[in-house]
């Protein structure tokens, strides 16, 4: 077992989780919002699999990708104009935690592990989803998208969360399902943990060299427990 496979190589005092594709499966609600917008513009709807590949870089980028796919690249703002208010009302209709997330968060809380959320989803929708799913009380803080300049992989919000959890960045794990999460961890001097159950292809994640990769929430529980065993 090499250093990248052993969580004993890391001391983890706190954890920052991505939201979409890491804690919750939200693709259905996001796809519904995109398709509502496309329908309002008289365009064909798209599959959830298409939308799955567009998630992770924030709503404006999601709408840009949808617009390009639909042949109206210069009208992405029209898609956002319809998708945003629809999603605000329906962002928790079908969104649910992935299998094992409840146990993962319960274990972290029982161990006294400070936890936070950092997402490129609009901040107000992050708040709504955490409250709707009963997850809010697990976290010291949660941050979502406010503007393009500070979204992930910008390290600023991640470092703010470290301060909120009173943990040095080098002993904070950033857990996510995307290359953007790996880059954010690297930019902030944190430990990157990639999860394989999310929206991005595993080969793409592996190619970016995360510090750790896990296949299940149960495996992540074991890695985090081992990192604090001493």
Q: State the catalytic residues.
A: 18
Q: How many CA atoms lie within 13 A of 18 on its CB side?
A: 33
CB contact at 8 A, 77 and 52: no
Q: Of 118, 120, 143, give the one whose Cα is nearest residue 17.
A: 118
Provide the token pair at 142.
């949660």
CB contact at 8 A, 103 and 217: yes
Q: Of 74, 86, 85, 72, give the one whose Cα is nearest residue 41.
A: 72
Q: Of 153, 156, 162, give the one whose Cα is nearest residue 182.
A: 153
Report the distance separating Cα 177 and Cα 190, nearest Å: 15
Element (H, E) at 28: helix 27-40
Element (H, E) at 165: helix 156-165
CB contact at 8 A, 53 and 204: no
């Amino acid at each position: 077992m090499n250093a990248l496979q052993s969580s004993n190589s890391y001391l983890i005092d706190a954890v920052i989780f991505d939201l979409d594709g890491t804690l919750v499966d939200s693709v259905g609600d996001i796809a519904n919002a995109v398709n509502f917008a496309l329908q309002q513009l008289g365009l064909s709807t798209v599959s959830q699999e298409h939308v799955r590949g567009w998630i992770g870089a924030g709503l404006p980028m999601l709408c840009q990708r949808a617009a390009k796919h639909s042949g109206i690249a210069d009208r992405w703002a029209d898609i956002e104009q319809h998708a945003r208010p629809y999603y605000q009302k329906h962002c928790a209709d079908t969104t649910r935690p992935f299998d094992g997330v409840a146990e993962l968060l319960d274990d972290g809380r029982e161990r006294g592990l400070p936890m936070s959320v950092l997402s490129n989803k609009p901040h107000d929708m992050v708040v709504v989803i955490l409250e709707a799913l009963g997850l809010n009380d697990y976290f010291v803080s949660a941050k979502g998208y406010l503007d393009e300049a500070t979204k992930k992989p910008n390290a600023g919000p991640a470092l703010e969360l470290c301060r909120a959890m009173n943990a040095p960045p080098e002993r904070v794990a950033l857990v996510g399902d995307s290359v953007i999460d790996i880059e954010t961890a690297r930019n902030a001097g944190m430990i990157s943990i990639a999860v394989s159950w999310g929206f991005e292809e595993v080969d793409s994640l592996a190619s970016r060299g995360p510090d750790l990769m896990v296949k299940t929430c149960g495996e992540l529980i074991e890695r985090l427990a081992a990192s604090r065993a001493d």
